[in-house]
């Protein structure tokens, strides 16, 4: 086997997954590992990653994707471990639900740094590796908030619209390098932290899901992510929107008493 062939074999079904310390990111690590993938689990909270690694056999890679030094160290470590053929960008989040007139600059800045610049930085770092492997994949988890604006969502809308646009541009730019670019845009997903981190209060977070029969779970989304990246490489699910049946659109959500 040639050196290039050996490298491709080592990278086959090998992924970096960001946002891996909780929610959809953690569920994606578990789903891929259960399917035989080698997974580098990336997040800031090292203690959670170590537990995830112990549970699943994933490689814990504590890093802040908005920090250039952390990304450089991550790239070096993954390269030394044999490389990857798939990058799964799950890290992101929302802060606040203020209208534009009451916007908190720090919240907007955080959302842009994590959802947009963080995704850009880690993707930029790993693109040469993904090009070199011959059949690379980038999957970006965006949101239905990046498809339709809503009152009180402007900051998150802006960040996710930008991430959605960046994903589309990346697909156009990297097609000639045989890189598959997938976007998964979930609607209402009940996770332990998303609404709590956004609203800062457990009671307010619980109201987001009140009366909604069967909102999506982290595992639901992780199953779709696993399916999308596991298809034969020539099959590209460009854009996947996932909502619970109770959420017919961003504007229609069925709540039962």
Query: Helix or strand or coil: residue 190?
Result: strand
DSSP labels for 133-151? HSS-EEEEE--GGGTS--T
CA dist., res. 152 & res. 98, Å (int): 5
**150 among known catalytic residues:** no
Q: What does the alpha-carbon distance between residue 206 and residue 82 come to, in Å, rounded to a whole number?
A: 43
Task: Name the catalytic one among 156, 209, 227, 251.
Answer: 156
Residue count of the chain, please give it: 257
Distance CA 22, CA 27 (A): 8
Alpha helices in the chain (DSSP H): 3-11, 23-34, 46-56, 68-80, 105-112, 118-133, 154-174, 194-199, 202-209, 218-230
Residue keyed to tokens 């250039």 = 68
Nearest to 85 by CA among 119, 134, 120: 134
Q: How far apart are CA 172 and CA 175, in angstroms?
A: 6
Under 8 Å CB-to-CB from 125, ≥6 apart: which residues? 71, 72, 74, 75
Residues with catalytic roles: 156
């Amino acid at each position: 086997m040639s050196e290039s062939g050996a490298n491709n074999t080592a990278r086959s079904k090998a992924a970096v997954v960001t946002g891996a310390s909780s929610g959809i990111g953690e569920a994606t690590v578990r789903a891929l590992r259960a399917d035989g993938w080698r997974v580098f689990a990336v997040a800031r909270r090292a203690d959670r990653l170590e537990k995830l690694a112990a549970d699943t056999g994933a490689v814990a890679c504590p890093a802040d994707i908005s920090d250039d030094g952390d990304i450089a160290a991550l790239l070096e470590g993954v390269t030394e471990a044999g490389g990857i053929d798939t990058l799964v960008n799950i890290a992101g989040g929302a802060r606040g639900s203020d209208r534009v007139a009451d916007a908190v600059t720090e919240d907007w800045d955080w959302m842009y740094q994590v959802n947009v610049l963080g995704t850009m930085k880690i993707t930029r770092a790993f693109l040469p590796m993904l090009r070199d492997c011959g059949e690379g994949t980038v999957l970006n988890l965006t949101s239905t908030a990046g498809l339709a604006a809503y009152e009180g969502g402007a900051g998150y809308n802006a960040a996710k619209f930008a991430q959605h646009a960046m994903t589309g541009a990346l697909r156009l730019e990297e097609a000639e390098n045989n890189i598959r670019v997938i976007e998964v845009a979930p609607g209402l997903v009940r996770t332990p932290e998303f609404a709590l981190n956004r609203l800062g209060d457990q009671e307010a977070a619980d109201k987001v899901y009140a009366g909604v029969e069967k909102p999506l779970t982290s595992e639901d989304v992780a199953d779709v992510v696993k399916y999308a990246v596991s298809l034969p490489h020539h099959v590209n699910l460009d854009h996947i929107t996932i909502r619970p049946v109770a959420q017919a659109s961003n504007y229609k959500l069925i709540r039962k008493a």
